[in-house]
Structure 1
C-alpha cells in the first residue's frame, strides 16, 4: 500500500478571493486529525483465524511501541483485524511522536486520518399526498420494475449501508430492528455527539438515525416497501439491510471510523456494501480507497458515491470512490419533478404552479395566505433583482407574496431584502424552466418557480389584474422533467483519476430523488446527490446477485457497464453522447443485466495518456443463449471533453464542454455468428484523433464498442487522454486565482516574502510555504538547501513577488502520512543527486485545487527537519519539487522545481 510522506504540517484551505490577495477561510480543502494515524502492520492480513492470533498481533505492536513511548503518550482508538487489513488507529498527545510510531518494528505503513464532513443534504419535506401517486419513476428509468415483475426483489441478499444510521421505526423500512426485520443488524460507531477532534465517539449496537436523515434516505432507496404514501419503492426491498452509523448528530467522521465500519461490513458477510460519502482526492492510492478496493477484490460489491463536485471540472475525483475495484457511481436526473407542492392562483389558466423548497422549508399553510402579488421589478430581464435594499417607495410587503427574478446575488440576500421591507412570502422565478434546490438560508417562506410561471404572474401583475395566490398545504404534482430528465446531473463529479482509471464507472438516478426520511423529521424527503444514485446501484447489484448467484460479485461492474444505456449530453436529437468521464459507461439497466443472454468482457478499456498509450485491446463475446446469433460490432464515440481553457492552466469549470473529435477506432471484425455456448474475440485498435483538438487542453477521449444482436445491445467502454500528462503544469505559477504565482513563502499574517528575511520563530513569527496546484501530483517534496543553492535547470521560474499578503486561518499539526521505508540507497536517479540538507516535509497523491472553495495549501517551516533533527541556525532556502503526473519519481527532470528566497533560522 502506498503512503503519504510528511513531517509536521499546517493546512489552510481558503476560498476564492473577492480581492486578489485577501482570502477568507474556506471549507473546501481536506482536513486531517492532526494527532491520529492509521498503522498497518507488516503481518499479513488474517482471514478466519482465531481471535487469539489477532490479539497477539496487536499485543506485539503495543509492546514494541511501549518501548519507545510512555504509555500515556498515546491511545489506541481502533484495532483492525481482518482478511484485508491488520492494524490500528493511534492517537498521540504530541504530534512529534508520530515519527516514533513510524519507525516502530512491525509497522508496514502509517496513514493520515482524514476528516469527512457529514453528507450535505437539502431535504424537502413533501407533506401529504392528495391521492395515491403512480409508479415510482427512478425504478422505471433503470428497468428495475421489470425485474420486480419477474419476481426478483433481492430476497436473501445482505446489503451493508455505511452512513448516518437509519430510522428503522419507519413503516416503509419495516418498523423494527434486528433478526426478522428488514433492518436486520448494524452498529453505531459514533453515538449522538461525536465530533472528530473535539468530542469522542461513544459506540453502541443501535444505529438509530433520528437527527441526520441521510442514511434513512439511502436505506429507502434500497429497501423501502412499496404501497406507502408516495409509493416509494426500494430497488431491492426484500433484501436484508445492515446499517453502520459513522456520522453523529453533529456531523463529521474520519478514516479510522470508516475503516472500522468497512471491515465490519465485510466480516459480517454483507454481499453489497454502500458508501454514500467521500472527499476530493483524485488518486486510487488513498488508504480508504485501497481497503475498499481490497474488499471488492475478494468478492463483495462495493458501491461508492462518485462525488458532487461537477462544478469543479474534470480530474476532480473522490475517495474512496477512486478505489480500483469499487464501483464509483455517477448521477442522472430524475425524469420526473416532484412530488412538488403548488401555488394556486385566481387567474384563469394560470396554475397550479409547482415550486421547489428552500432548505429546511415547510409548506406554507394556504388557509391564511390568500395574497396579492408585488413584483420588485417590472423588468423580466433584470439581472440583480432585490439584490440591494428595496426602494423607499416600496409598500409594506407584509400582505403580499413578493415576486423576484433570480440572479445577481444569493437567494438568501433577496429574501433578506424582502423581509426588511416587511415581506414574509417570497416567490423567486428562475431564468429558465429548470428546477433545482434553492438555498434561502434560514428564511422559512421562500420558494423557486419556473421562468414560464413567473412570467405569467408578472404579466398579469403589470396589467393590474386583480388576483391572489395561495399555498395549499396538501396536494402535490409530479410534472415531467423535460429539461434534464435522464441526463447526467450537473453536480455529479467528473473524472478520471490522475492515474487514469475509469471513474465514475456508471450512473443511476440521483437528482431529485424521493425517499424515506426520519419520522420525526417528516417521513419523506427529496434529495439530490450521487449519495442517492449509489444505493440505487447497490440495489441493482443485489438483484443481479439474487438472479445469478453470489459468484458474479467480482464481475458486477463489468455486467452492469456492458448492459448500461447511453446517456446523451443534452435532450436534443443530435446530441453527442455524454463524456464517460462524467457519466461512466452509461445508465445502469437492471433488466438488461438480468435478462441478456450474451456476455461481453472486459467492461472498460483503459487507454491511459499519450506517453503510456495502450493501443491494442481485445474484447470477448460469449453467446449464452440457446439460439444461434449474429452479432454486429461498431464504434460509438462520445463527445471529447476539454479539461483546460485554451491558453490557460486553469481547468474549465462545469459543465465541461464537449467537442466532436473522437478517437480513431479499427475493429478486426464487424459481424460474426455464434452458436449457443460459442465465443469469439474482436481486436480493437484505438488511436487519438489526428486533428480537431489541441493537446494542451487535455482532451478526454471516450466512447463505446457496441455489440448488437437481436433484442440485445451491449457496450464496452473506453477512456483515455490525448496528451502526455507529464507536460501538464502542476503548480499554479499564474496570478489568475490568487493574484500571485505560487509557491511562495508567507508569514503568519499572509505577507509574501520577496527579499531575504530573518524570522524569530517566536509568537508565530515563522515562515510558511504556500502552494497551489493546477493539476494533481503523486509527490510533493520540500527540502532545506543552502542559501547559495541553485538548480542546474530551474523548472518553475519566478519573478520577484509583489508586495502582497494572503489572509487565512492556520491549522497546525500533522498532515499527510509518514514513509517508514529506509532513505538509504533507494534511488540512483537524478532526483536523489540534488544536494539537499534534509527533508522539511512531503505530500503524496495530492489533489488539484479548485477555483471555488479550495484555493491553496500551506506547510509551516519549523526549526526541525521532518525526522525531528534540529536545524542548525543559519541562512537557508527551500527547494520545492512537484512530480508531474506519469513522471518517474527518481528523475529530477520529471519534477517542477521551485526555490524560495533566503530566510534565517535563529539559535534557540
Structure 2
C-alpha cells in the first residue's frame, strides 16, 4: 500500500454504482443502460415504451407502487418517443429497503412495453462569457462576419432574408423585449413560439430541482444572477435586426424553448421535451447550442434528435468547445445520425482592449472574457521557464514572485483554466497568456477562473517576456474596446472540438463563424456583446439554412441540404500563411458559402466519406453520385486534395493518452478514382467510385489522415468547383488500450490517494455499514461496455458481478476534474442467475476475493474475451 502521487485530484467523479440502500442500486435490470459517467443524476431515470398508450398506465403503476417516494417529471406520448422520466427517493431507509424497491421495479420493467431504461444525464449550461459592447455602428460593421460566408451577397443580391422560415432554438431563454428581437412574444412578433420548460431556479444538479414552467421563454434573470444571456445571443445571430446589426436570417420566425435556469445544468429528459415541442410547432430547423463530452450516439436525447431528422426536420447542433483536449472531443447529441454537427471558424476581426506597458511606446492589444478595466499591476514571469511547453501547468514551477502581480505564460500543453488556477493559488492577480502559433490577441476560454485571464499575440508576448527579464514592467488598463484584424480569420477556432465520433463517423460535418461573434444580449447585460463558441457557429448555420430553404423550398430533405452546403464549402488552411489544408476532423467540409450553395445546381451525394480504420474492408471503397440540375453540360477533373493528418498521440512521451491539443503530420492517403474526368449533361447523374490506399504510417500511432475528393470545373460559368471531405485511421481502433498505465488500482478512498498494490491485502469490515473499496479508473480510450466480477480466491470462480454493467463511457482527459473516476464497491455482488428476484445485491460471505474489471475495446465483440482490457485487483479480505 502506498500513497499515489498522481496529478488527478480532484478526481473525475465518484460513481456510486452499487450502494446498498441507495436508489442507484435499484435498477439492476437487463433493460437498464447503466453508466458511470459523472453527469448521471442520482436516482433519476428515463423509461422508453414501445407504444404511446403505455405511458399513463405505467405512470399510475409507479405512483401506486412507491407513493410519495416517487416523483414523475415528464411524460411523453409522442410518435417519436413514448416514455416518462421519474425520480425515486427513499426518505426512510429503515422502513423501505433498496431490496424491496428492487423487487418492485423488476416486475414493472419486465413488462414487454418497456423497451429501455436510461439514467438521466445533466447537460451543463454552456459556460461562455460575454464581452459587453456598447451599440456602435462602426463596431457592428467591423465585427460582422457575413462577408466570410456570402450571407451579405444573399441579402443584397437575392433579397433573401429568410422570411417565413421557422427556426426553433433550444437554449437558456431569450429577452424578446430587446428591440432587435422584435420587442414582444407571440403572433405577429419575431419570437412567436416557445415556452419556459423549467423556470429561473431550475438546476438539474440540485437534489430536488425547482421546476416552475412559464408560458413564455423570457430571460429575465438579471445581472446579479450570473446568467450569461446565452440564448439571447444565439437568437440574435439567427434573426436579430436593428439599424446597426443584421442577423443571418433577419426576417425568419423564431421559437425558443427554455431548458436552463439562470445558472446550472439541465437534464436530458428536458432536452427531449424541448425537441418534441419544437418539432410539433412545425420548426423548419431546430438549433441546439448545447451538449456533453461523449462521442457516442446512444443517449436518449441523441436518439430523439436523430428521429426528428429522419422525419425531415433539420437539426443543427454544436460540436463542442473541447478542441484543446485533443481528438475525439465532439460531443453528443451532435454525434447523432442524420443531425448536423457544427464546427466554429474565427471571425475576420476581434474587439480587443489595450494596456500600456512600461517601456513600450504603443499600447498592446489583448482580449478577455471579462471587463477590460483591470487594476494596475506589475508583470512577472509566470513560470520558472516561460516559453517552454508546460508554462504554469505544474504548480511547482511557478515562482514566488507572481504573488500580487500578473503572471506571463505561453499558450499550450494544458488548459487556460489550469494555468489560471495554479497562478491564482500562488497569489497572482491575473494571467497574461501569449499565443504559441503566431496569432494575435485572443480570448482565452477559462470558465470560472479565479483571476482575470488575458490573451495577447505571440509577438507581443515575446516582447513582454524580453522586457520583464530585463527589469520592471507595469501594466495599466483603460477598458476601451476597438476592432483589430485576426491572424486566424477564416480558420477553425482553437476551441472547436475535434472529431471523429467514437464510432468513426465524420464529425463535425461543416463549419460556420463562431469565434468573436457580435450579437444581442439581454438588456440587463447591456443589450450587445461578443461571445465565442460552437454555440455561436450553430445558430449561424441554422440561419444560413433558413436562407437556403427560403430559396429552395421547405421540402428538401435534411441530408440533401447538408450535402449541398458541404459541396461548396471553403476549405481552410490549418494556419493562415502556412501550407496545409486543415483536417476534416476539425472543419468538416469547411466554412459554409451560402450564396454558392443556393445558386449552384450541381449536387454530390454523399457529402462526406469515412474510410473507417484499416481493419474495415467494407469502407475502403465508396461511391458518390454527381447530379446536374442545371441547364448546361458540366465537365470536371477529379483529384485527391490531401489535408494535414491528425496525430492523436505522442507515444514516446505519453503513450496512448491523447495529445492536448492535437498535433499535425503530413501523412497522406492515396485515392484510386474510377473516373478522373467526367462530363454530366443537364438532368443526368454519373456515379464515381473512390478507393483509399492509406498512408504507410506506423499502425501503432493511429494517424488520422484526411482530405477532399476535389472536382475542378473546366467552366466556372456552368458549375463551380466541388469537394467531398474524407478521413480514415491507420491502425485498428480495436487494438487501443482502454486503461491508462498504472490503472485501475484499488483504493480505500474515493480521491485515490491511497493505492493498494497487487500484493497488498485490502481488509473489508462488513460491520462498518459505510465500508467501501474504490476502483480508481482512467479510461484513455472510450469503451462501450465496462464490467466487474467478484472472484472467490479459494475456488477461482466468479460468484457474480460487483455492480451492473456500465455502457458507453467517454474517455478521460488531462483537464482538472476529468482525469479519472472512482467506482465504488460496497461488498455485495449480483448473482449470476438471470431471475429478477436474484438481481439485488447480496453481501459476499466472509472470505477473500478479487475484483476483475473488464472494458470492451471500440468495435470489440462483447462475446470475445480477447476484445476486453482486463484488470484484477489484489486480495480483498471480507470479514466482520
Q: TM-score range by the shorter chain?
A: 0.7 to 0.9
Distance 1:376 1:176, change over 3 A: same
Classify the secondary structure of the residue corresponding to 2:276: helix
Distance 1:731 1:132, change over 3 A: closer
Write the mapping of 1:846-865 to structure 2, written as runs, cut at 5 A.
846-853=809-816, 854-865=818-829
Partner of 1:903: 876
Partner of 2:572: 567
Whether the 8 Å CA contact 2:792–2:798 is kept in 1: the answer is no
Partner of 2:415: none
Whether the 8 Å CA contact 1:434–1:450 is kept in 2: the answer is yes
The C-alpha deviation readout for 1:623-654, integer Å capped at 9, x for no partner, is 11111221221111212212222355433423
Shift of 1:756: 3.2
The C-alpha deviation readout for 1:303-361, integer Å capped at 9, x for no partner, is 111111112211233111111111111111112122x34457999x94464332343x2
Partner of 1:830: none
Classify the secondary structure of the residue corresponding to 1:634: strand
Partner of 1:741: 743
The C-alpha deviation readout for 1:728-780, integer Å capped at 9, x for no partner, is 11122x1xxxxx33253544574333333331242532212222211111111
CA distance in 2, matches of 1:781, 1:32: 18
CA distance in 2, matches of 1:461, 1:542: 52
Looking at both structures, which has the greater relative contact order when contacts are Cα pairs under 8 Å and sequence separation is at least 6? 1
Partner of 1:582: 586
Partner of 1:84: 80
Write the mapping of 1:351-370 to structure 2, written as runs, cut at 5 A.
351=362, 353-359=364-370, 361=371, 363=373
Partner of 1:752: 755
CA distance in 1, matches of 2:467, 2:868: 64
Partner of 1:165: 173
Shift of 1:687: 2.4
Of 641, 648, 655, the residue aligned with 2:646 is 641
Distance 1:858 1:279, change over 3 A: same
Shift of 1:891: 1.5
CA distance in 2, matches of 1:427, 1:904: 53
Shift of 1:619: 0.9
CA distance in 1, matches of 2:383, 2:202: 50
Write the mapping of 1:91-490 to structure 2, written as runs, cut at 5 A.
91-94=87-90, 97=101, 99-100=105-106, 101-127=108-134, 129=136, 131=138, 133-134=140-141, 136-149=143-156, 150-196=158-204, 197-198=206-207, 199-211=209-221, 212=227, 213-228=229-244, 231=245, 233-338=246-351, 340-343=352-355, 350-351=361-362, 353-359=364-370, 361=371, 363=373, 388=399, 390=401, 405-407=408-410, 410=419, 433-438=439-444, 448-450=455-457, 452=459, 471=478, 473=480, 476-482=481-487, 484-490=488-494
Whether the 8 Å CA contact 1:785–1:835 is kept in 2: the answer is yes
How does the TM-score come out when normalised to structure 2? 0.83
Distance 1:509 1:763, change over 3 A: same
Distance 1:193 1:752, change over 3 A: same
Whether the 8 Å CA contact 1:703–1:719 is kept in 2: the answer is yes
Richer in strand (by share): 2
Shift of 1:496: 0.8
Partner of 1:726: 734
Distance 1:659 1:354, change over 3 A: closer
Whether the 8 Å CA contact 1:283–1:317 is kept in 2: the answer is no
1:626 aligns with 2:626: no
RMSD: 3.5
CA distance in 1, matches of 2:267, 2:382: 51
The C-alpha deviation readout for 1:432-479, integer Å capped at 9, x for no partner, is 652222459788988554455577789999999999966265xx4322
Shift of 1:102: 3.3
Whether the 8 Å CA contact 2:348–2:490 is kept in 1: the answer is yes
Whether the 8 Å CA contact 2:151–2:544 is kept in 1: the answer is yes
1:785 aligns with 2:761: no
Partner of 2:860: 887
CA distance in 2, matches of 1:906, 1:379: 51
1:517 aligns with 2:493: no
CA distance in 2, matches of 1:130, 1:629: 44
Which piece of structure 1 moves more, 759-768 or 445-454?
445-454
Classify the secondary structure of the residue corresponding to 2:689: strand
Distance 1:590 1:745, change over 3 A: same
Shift of 1:105: 4.8
Whether the 8 Å CA contact 2:123–2:292 is kept in 1: the answer is yes
Question: How many equivalent residue pairs?
Answer: 800
Shift of 1:133: 4.6
CA distance in 2, matches of 1:429, 1:606: 36
Partner of 2:18: none
The C-alpha deviation readout for 1:784-841, integer Å capped at 9, x for no partner, is 2222465xxxxxxxxxxxxxxxxxxxxxxxxxxxxxxxxxxxxxxxxxxx95534622
Shift of 1:57: 2.8
Partner of 2:614: 610
Whether the 8 Å CA contact 2:745–2:756 is kept in 1: the answer is no
Whether the 8 Å CA contact 2:70–2:87 is kept in 1: the answer is yes
Shift of 1:714: 1.2
Shift of 1:594: 0.7
Write the mapping of 1:735-884 to structure 2, written as runs, cut at 5 A.
740-744=742-746, 746-747=748-749, 750=752, 751-754=754-757, 755-761=760-766, 762-788=768-794, 836-838=799-801, 840-853=803-816, 854-866=818-830, 867-875=839-847, 876-884=849-857
Which piece of structure 1 moves more, 238-247 or 720-729?
720-729
CA distance in 1, matches of 2:453, 2:809: 41
Shift of 1:581: 1.4
Shift of 1:603: 0.7
The C-alpha deviation readout for 1:239-264, integer Å capped at 9, x for no partner, is 11111111111321111111111111
The C-alpha deviation readout for 1:838-895, integer Å capped at 9, x for no partner, is 4622111111111223122222223444521424413332222211111111112211
Classify the secondary structure of the residue corresponding to 1:488: coil
Partner of 1:14: none
CA distance in 1, matches of 2:253, 2:302: 25
Partner of 1:60: 57
Partner of 1:811: none
Distance 1:22 1:601, change over 3 A: closer
Shift of 1:896: 1.8
The C-alpha deviation readout for 1:108-153, integer Å capped at 9, x for no partner, is 1001100122110122112353846535532211111111121111
Partner of 1:24: 10
Gaps of 5+ in 2: 15-36, 91-97, 222-226, 412-417, 831-838
Shift of 1:414: 6.5
CA distance in 2, matches of 1:521, 1:281: 32
CA distance in 2, matches of 1:461, 1:446: 18
Distance 1:71 1:427, change over 3 A: closer
Which piece of structure 1 moves more, 531-540 or 134-143?
134-143
How does the TM-score come out when normalised to structure 1? 0.81
Shift of 1:543: 1.2
Distance 1:417 1:708, change over 3 A: same
Shift of 1:781: 1.0
Distance 1:27 1:562, change over 3 A: farther
CA distance in 2, matches of 1:513, 1:112: 36
Distance 1:468 1:103, change over 3 A: closer
The C-alpha deviation readout for 1:389-445, integer Å capped at 9, x for no partner, is 5599xxxx9xxxx8864459945777898988xxxx998776765222245978898
Shift of 1:297: 1.0
The C-alpha deviation readout for 1:33-58, integer Å capped at 9, x for no partner, is 11110000022xxxxxxxxxx5x432
The C-alpha deviation readout for 1:686-739, integer Å capped at 9, x for no partner, is 1212x2x1111111122211123232111122222111112111122x1xxxxx
Gaps of 5+ in 1: 1-16, 44-53, 735-739, 791-833
